[in-house]
Amino acid sequence: MTAVVGVGVWVPEGRVGIEEVGGELGLSGMQVKIFRRYHRLGEIARDPHGGLAELLRGALDGLDALRGQEHRVRYVLHARTFPTVVPYPHDPVREVCDAYGLGHAAVFAVGHHACASGLLALDAAGRLLAAEGDHDGLALVLTGEKTFTAEARLVPGTSFFGEGAAACLVAATGERDRLLAYASDLRGDIDSGDEEAALAFQRVYADTLAATITAAVARAGLAMDDVGVVLPHNVNRVAWHQVCRTLGYPRERVVLDNVAATGHLFCADSFVNYRTAQARGLLRQGEPYVMAAAGAGSGAAFSAMAFVH
Amino acid sequence: MTEQDTTAEAADPALRDRLVDSIRDLLPQVLGREVAGVTADTALMDALGISSTTGLELVLELEERLELEISVEELGRDDFGTVGSLAAYVAGNLLTEA
């Protein structure tokens, strides 16, 4: 079963207050106040001087498990919220792979699960390696995007996107951290960018994400009581409070530390929160935990993975 | 039953009635149109078309108008059921004396 060999993350030091970002996007003072008071967002991480390549380099520099193992990497998957992450014809993912000794690997993007594409990429990476039966092979999942358009700065009524990246080294099998189960609920009916679809997404969000988490945990042969910690996506605090109420799961065990400090880092949230949980001593050997994410764009996706550390 | 519900039910009924009046006064400003015949039983979403965002705007406008601080931490979809349920939530979640 798929195993996460190591996780490297990078969040740039630059921060912009949501009032400034709201001003850039033409939001009213009241709209921004709702984000700060109700959604509990505060500052957004941004690197004003670097591009996507610099974000990914930062994450790769923090991935110690990759050192000396580059030749074993068969696949590099860039998991994306948005299909287009840089202007044509730039290809920073390929450039970074060449610079880090990964030029031999098959490099491609994984998307269409919006901000849950990071979990999709983890699953795909493990299954690709397993299908080859090559137990020496590794795959690298990269996440992180630039807030380079207005659309890539705001999730209307929900969150602000921030800049940060993660690099996750994956093996087909292994003891730590072992993927126990993956569940994903795709809602193709919520498939437009209009206000009605956004409201439909909000209406089903807590129940559907809670059900997806429950499904992943049940497939792993576990109950929610067994789950030591949930590593969420950083959309906002209140959305997770609703999910916790639905699950009957203590909100204190959801790692929400980065919501007010960085904003929603596209597909990188769960991995950045993994490192935060690790630093806080929340990941204990042998204890299960959950990564969960959801997003809407051309269709909505709700995904969860159960792991054992 | 959540802690929030218990608090709301324990709130002063006279305060809740005053809040219903204030919400009724603020609705035209938040909705951008006149609304008639609003009572505590009027459904905010179904009858008046309030969205979650305009509902939050209503709460924060109420805070400014009454110079009160309201805890919005536990505010959920159910609290936006009717004018009365929102008033009950606010009455039970004041951080400053009304």
Ranges assigned E (strand) in chain A: 3-10, 15-17, 43-45, 73-79, 106-110, 138-143, 154-155, 159-160, 165-171, 178-187, 229-231, 288-297, 299-308
pTM: 0.90
| Number of domains composing chain B | 1
The segments of chain A whose pLDDT lies below 70 read: 192-193
Which CATH number characterizes residue B56's domain? 1.10.1200.10
The CATH code for residues A178-308 is 3.40.47.10
Q: Using CB atoms and an 8 Å cut-off, which of residues 127-156 of chain A contact chain B? A: none
Give the whole-angstrom CA distance, residue A179 versus residue A303: 14
Is B72 within 8 Å of A202 when comparing Cβ atoms? no
Specify if B69 maps to a domain: yes
Q: Which two tokens stand for residue A12?
A: 């740039």
Find the CB nearest B60 among A37, A157, A202: A37
H-helix or E-strand containing A261?
A: helix A259-262
Specify if B17 maps to a domain: yes
Q: Give the range among A82-91, A144-153, B2-11, B31-40 with minimum mean pLDDT.
A: B2-11
A198-218 pLDDT, tens digit per residue, is 778 888 899 999 999 999 999
B53-87 pLDDT, tens digit per residue, is 888 999 999 999 989 899 988 888 889 999 999 99
Is A245 within 8 Å of B76 when comparing Cβ atoms? yes
Do A3-171 and A178-308 fold alike per CATH? yes
Size of interface A-B (CB pairs under 8 A): 28
ipTM, 2 decimals? 0.76
Residue whose tokens read 């159910």: B78
Residue B60, domain extent:
3-92
pLDDT > 90 in chain B, percent: 50
Specify if B68 maps to a domain: yes
Is A38 within 8 Å of B61 when comparing Cβ atoms? no
pLDDT for A197: 80
Cα–Cα separations (whole angstroms), residue A120 to A93, A105, A162, A184: 18, 19, 21, 8
Specify if B98 maps to a domain: no
Q: State whether residue A143 is helix, strand or coil.
A: strand
pLDDT > 90 in chain A, percent: 88
Give the whole-angstrom CA distance, residue B56 versus residue B61: 9
Is B52 within 8 Å of A37 when comparing Cβ atoms? no
Domain residue limits, chain A: 3-171, 178-308
CB A59 within 8 A of CB A96: no
Residues of A in contact with B77 (CB under 8 A): 242
Specify if B7 maps to a domain: yes
Specify if B97 maps to a domain: no
The CATH code for residues A3-171 is 3.40.47.10
Which of A30, A204, A244 to mutate to test binding with chain B, by most B CBs within 10 Å of its CB? A30
